[in-house]
Amino acid sequence: MLMREGHGRPLKVRHVDSSLTFKGFGGNPAVDFFTGFHLMFRPVVYAFFTSALLAGCGGSTNPFVGDPAEPEPPIPNPDPNAPSMDTITRDMRGFRYDGTTLEIDMAGVSSSGRYGVFKRRQQMDIPSHHGQPAYLAYEYQETNMNRSFLAYVAENARGNLVAIAAADGGQFNEFNGGGAIRVVAYTRPTGIPDTSPTPGPETGVMNYYGSYGGVFIPGPLDPQGSPRPGEFHPGEPLSTRGEVQVSARFTQTGSGDTVEGGIANRTVWDREGNQVTTLVFSDGSTVDTTTLPSLVLRETSINSDGGFLGNVELRGGDSVGTYAGNFGGNGATDVAGVIYISPIGRDGVHEYGVFNIPRCDTAGASPICTPR
């Protein structure tokens, strides 16, 4: 079910690096903005702007094409809260990854060629969780006049799943982003017993635990490219880190397989690996990002191919987005997912996230799994 491979006032930032891609604020104790706020390092405060609505690029139409084909009849009484894969894949039309090089086919004004070739940005890697592979950060910006993209690649030690999330930091009131999963191998669990002891083994009910990583947009404006007006500068994405638990039930018959979970301890980080504790918007309002709200991955069904699609909510019930994923490995030893959410309940602020985590009774499992 998931994609396989194939307005505020402008900010004026003091130049701190002459390279093509902005390298962050290392060595600079504060960066001044028109807003009068400052970015400091412990704690870090980020001043940045959002336009009235930083909209996704997906779904735009070409006004110069001919008359469209006869439309299909609408679905009677569609559920407005039903999750959609379109919100996950969005502008990502494909990706190629060989373990080292990441190439993404992204809609919009992204790259001259079909695929933009990303380069590593190790400062933004998501650290490994108790021996699991780190989530690797990549970036792409064709020129300093164009959109600045951040991507995360989440692999696992067994190599059966790869999850990708990528987005640019916003420019001209829009952003381009999306996520996808490559499923290398999957077989459904077998040998599920008719009864379960307390506590039971990882058989029918299975648990997974590990790291979460995300792309948080928009970010501060790229200060390079002067003397262009600040409104033309692309935003540079921030990142998020957290912990994720996924729990699933595989039945004896395969009918009624379900999955649920949650993401907690989410924090925001800048491009040099410093935690961001406060976001300051151009209207003077602030958001405390010391710890972002916890997320709930609402229970949803698992397809026969191990894929799933569901809603993301805050721990109070408010819907904030969509998640999708796939189990991988022999007997569902691993699970990977991508989420797309509105992370702080404010228009124009978005987050794409990924996870790729092992089952609690497998090699590389988190020590949090024991005792169960």
Report pLDDT digits (tens) over 112-148: 999 999 999 999 999 888 878 999 999 999 988 899 9
Q: What is the DSSP string of 168-192?
A: E--BTTEE-EEEEEEE--EE-----
pLDDT tens per residue across span 176-194: 999 999 999 999 998 888 8
What's the pLDDT score for residue 128?
83
Q: Report the alpha-carbon distance of residue 340 to residue 264 in Å, rounded.
A: 15
278: β partners: 45, 288
State the virtual CA torsion across 332, 185, 340, 144 in degrees, nearest 10.
Answer: 140
The CATH T-level fold of domain 44-56+83-369 is: Porin (2.40.160)
What's the pLDDT score for residue 268?
96
pLDDT tens per residue across span 305-360: 999 999 999 988 899 999 999 999 999 999 999 999 999 988 889 999 999 999 99
User: Among 205, 238, 204, which Cα is nearest to 221's?
Assistant: 238
Q: Report the alpha-carbon distance of residue 245 to residue 210 in Å, rounded.
A: 7
Q: Is the CA virtual torsion 336, 340, 345, 350 positive or negative?
A: positive
Q: Is the CA virtual torsion 164, 267, 316, 335 positive or negative?
A: positive
Q: Report the alpha-carbon distance of residue 355 to residue 349 in Å, rounded.
A: 20
Q: Is the CA virtual torsion 337, 340, 345, 349 positive or negative?
A: positive
**In the chain, where are the structural domains located?**
44-56+83-369
pLDDT tens per residue across span 268-288: 999 989 999 999 888 888 999
pLDDT tens per residue across span 207-261: 999 999 999 998 888 766 557 788 888 999 999 999 999 999 999 888 899 999 9
What's the pLDDT score for residue 261?
98
Q: Report the alpha-carbon distance of residue 87 to residue 74 in Å, rounded.
A: 19
Cα→Cα distances 201→130, 189, 194, 362, Å: 22, 13, 13, 12
Q: Report the alpha-carbon distance of residue 233 to residue 340 in Å, rounded.
A: 25
pLDDT tens per residue across span 38-52: 233 335 565 554 443
